[in-house]
Amino acid sequence: LRAAALAYGLTELASARDPDLGLRALARAIGVSATALYRHFPDKDALLDALAGAGMAQLGALQARAAAAVGGGRDGFMESGFAYVRFARDNPALFRLTFSRAGRMAPGDDDPAALGQAQRLLYEGVAAMMPGEIAPAKRDVMALHAWSLVHGLAMLILDGRVAWDDAKLRQILALTFDMGD
């Protein structure tokens, strides 16, 4: 049941716009009594945390795959950024839930594999972008810069402020991701 609940939750959050997911509603949807869920999660919060963790893991995996598909390096970094925005578009509620939840945990309290992977990808990407010597502080700034860009783009798209346009998005990303030239 735990697996079924998470699976349904993830698909529901992929299509939904609003990340408000009710415990009762979820139970109803998978054809089980609401109380049954309490066998597998201490409370609603824990359920949502699990979903958020799964979302983060999905996002990380997607980014890694996108980067690998073009052979890594600077192109891979750019592709991983693009994948980030695509993930948000394809999983609006899950994307929101993932970030609103994960931030509420104490640092390190997160699913370590998932957050670790996202962070690592970010830094590796920055390194690939600037292959020379980079001061750690500078690397940090560039990583946050890239992260903010894709995150903001994703949010603006989810909020209906920016229309999806493949070519235009790539141009916007290029401004940051080709910066090392």
The binding site for a second copy (CB under 8 A) comprises 99-100, 102-104, 140-142, 144-145, 147-156, 159-162, 168, 171-172, 175-176, 179
**83: nearest Cα among 64, 65, 68, 63:** 63
Cβ proximity of 101 and 46 under 8 Å: no
Six-digit token string for 40: 């597998």
- The answer to whether 171 contacts DNA (rule: CB under 7 A) is no
Minimum CB distance to DNA smaller for 43 or for 109: 43
104 binds, among a second copy, DNA, none (CB under 5 to 8 A by kind): a second copy
The rounded distance, in Å, linking the Cα atoms of 37 and 105 is: 22
Binding mask 42-71 for DNA (x = CB under 7 A): -xxx--------------------------
Q: Is 17 in the site for DNA (CB under 7 A)?
A: no
In angstroms, the CA 140 to CA 135 distance is 9
Least distance to DNA from the beta carbon of 158, Å?
Answer: 22
Q: Nearer Cβ to DNA, position 35 or 148?
A: 35
User: 22 touches which of a second copy, DNA, none (CB within 5 to 8 A by kind)?
Assistant: DNA
C-beta of 175: minimal distance to a second copy in Å? 5
**33 contributes a contact to DNA by CB under 7 A:** yes
Contact between 100 and DNA per CB under 7 A: no
State the burial class of residue 35 (Cβ atoms within 10 Å of its Cβ: 0-12, 13-18, 19+).
exposed
| One-letter identity of residue 181 | D
3-state helix, strand, coil in the chain (%, to 5): 75, 0, 25
Q: Quote the longest CA-to-CA distance of the chain.
A: 58
